[in-house]
């Protein structure tokens, strides 16, 4: 991660903190105009510390006595404040700071017991830059609430679709499996996901649905096309040996991010070195998954049998052993949507 990205992230947290503070000032102004007594209480709470510091310096009472009195007085004032807020119909926490990320209070760092570490929101912000670089962005309407099985045929046609059931029954089963994947994401026993099928049958949409759900639950996600993935690795191989201060965060994220999505596998330039790199990624992430969530979704237009012609047998063996394999089938949904948008209303 270069200094430019660090500076951008720092400014984003400063903007979030200012926004939270500005919202608090707006709410205070609103409440003070309706309940003037609250302004006096807040000012009294602020001056309590100063008053009791003077008492400590005077030494007229033991320190623990002064602290007890201070806490008792502040608690008393806070209780009066809550009563006034409730009587006016406000939530009891109305005058508390509303942070974008309550975990780190919009600082980007949390206390782990032995020091501070980057918050999950910080790590996801870094990863979002990789999304931008890859040309892919998570779209808000690509989540399970927008899932519509009606784009899939209810007719069974094994010759046409290559599956024993209808595309609609098939996609509903895939959706349910993905929801279980999300719910069991922390379990080392939960397998990764492998999506294959023709273009436009919903593979990327389903991967994004899983990603959005996991982001909402506080996990970090990284999307990479196969070509982008191997370019990142190749850049690391070249620059890490030449540049003493080379930041390998982008490379490390491939192995450590909680969910890695590899899209369009099979479209990258073939080489034995890349197959070995893919095997290293899958093996390393599988080992990491034993101690923390480290799952992978692979999406490809190429069927598993065809992939066996492209990749080392060890790669295919790893996919078969560590992934739940799903075949997407049906018509090109993009074409269906485009056609329906042209229909007269």
Range 290-309 average pLDDT:
88
Q: Write down the pLDDT at residue 206.
A: 94
SS percent in the chain: helix, strand, coil, step 5: 60, 10, 30
**What percent of the chain is modeled with pLDDT above 70?**
88
At 83-113, the pLDDT tens digits run 999 999 999 888 889 999 998 999 999 988 8
Partners of 195 in the beta sheet? Answer: 299, 326
DSSP character at residue 222:
E
CA distance 117 to 155: 53
Residue 3 pLDDT level (bands cut at 50, 70, 90): low
Q: Identify the band that residue 296 occupies on the pLDDT scale cut at 50, 70 and 90.
A: very high
Locate 232 and state its tokens: 């990142």
Q: What percent of the chain has pLDDT over 90?
A: 38
Query: Which CATH class, in words, describes the domain spanning 119-342?
Result: alpha beta
Tell me the mean pLDDT in the region 69-75. 83
Mean pLDDT over residues 26-55, rounded?
84
From residue 30, how far is each of 23, 36, 79, 85 by CA, in Å? 11, 10, 20, 12
Average pLDDT over all residues of the chain: 85
User: Is residue 329 scored above 80 in pLDDT?
Assistant: yes
CA distance 125 to 131: 10
Domain ranges of the chain: 3-102, 119-342
What pTM, to 2 d.p., does this model score?
A: 0.66
| Average pLDDT of span 157-177 | 94
User: Using CA atoms, how far apart are residues 199 and 268, in angstroms rounded to an integer?
Assistant: 16
Write down the pLDDT at residue 252: 86
| Contact between residue 302 and residue 265 where contact means Cβ atoms under 8 Å apart | yes
186 phi-psi bin (left φ>0, alpha ψ -120 to 50, beta other):
alpha
């Amino acid at each position: 991660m270069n200094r430019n990205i660090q500076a951008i992230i720092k400014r984003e947290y400063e903007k979030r903190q200012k926004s939270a503070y500005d919202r608090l000032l707006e709410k205070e102004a609103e409440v003070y105009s309706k309940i003037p007594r609250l302004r006096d209480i807040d000012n009294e709470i602020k001056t309590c510390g100063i008053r009791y510091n003077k008492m400590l310096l005077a030494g007229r009472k033991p320190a623990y006595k002064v602290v007890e009195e201070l806490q008792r007085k502040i608690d008393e004032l806070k209780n009066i404040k809550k009563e006034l807020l409730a009587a006016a119909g406000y939530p009891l926490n109305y005058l508390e700071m509303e942070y974008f990320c309550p975990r780190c209070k919009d600082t980007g760092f949390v206390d782990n017991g032995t020091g501070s570490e980057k918050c999950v929101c910080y790590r996801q912000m870094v990863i979002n830059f990789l999304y931008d670089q890859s040309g892919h962005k998570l779209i808000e309407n690509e989540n399970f609430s927008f899932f519509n099985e009606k784009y899939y045929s209810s007719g069974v046609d094994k010759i046409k679709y290559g599956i024993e059931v209808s595309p609609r029954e098939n996609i509903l089963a895939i959706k349910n499996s993905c929801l279980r994947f999300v719910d069991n994401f922390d379990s080392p026993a939960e397998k990764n996901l492998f999506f294959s099928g023709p273009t436009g049958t919903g593979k990327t949409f389903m991967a994004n649905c899983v990603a959005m759900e996991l982001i909402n639950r506080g996990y970090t996600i990284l999307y990479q096309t196969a070509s982008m993935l191997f370019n990142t690795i190749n850049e690391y191989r070249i620059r890490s040996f030449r540049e003493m201060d080379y930041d390998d965060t982008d490379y490390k994220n491939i192995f450590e991010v909680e969910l890695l999505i590899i899209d369009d596998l099979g479209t990258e330039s073939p080489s034995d070195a890349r197959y070995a790199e893919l095997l290293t990624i899958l093996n390393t992430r599988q080992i990491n998954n034993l101690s923390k969530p480290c799952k992978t979704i692979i999406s490809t237009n190429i069927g598993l049998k065809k992939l066996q012609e492209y990749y080392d047998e060890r790669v295919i063996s790893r996919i078969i052993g560590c992934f739940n394999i799903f075949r997407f089938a049906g018509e090109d949904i993009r074409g269906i949507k485009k056609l329906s948008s042209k229909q007269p209303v």
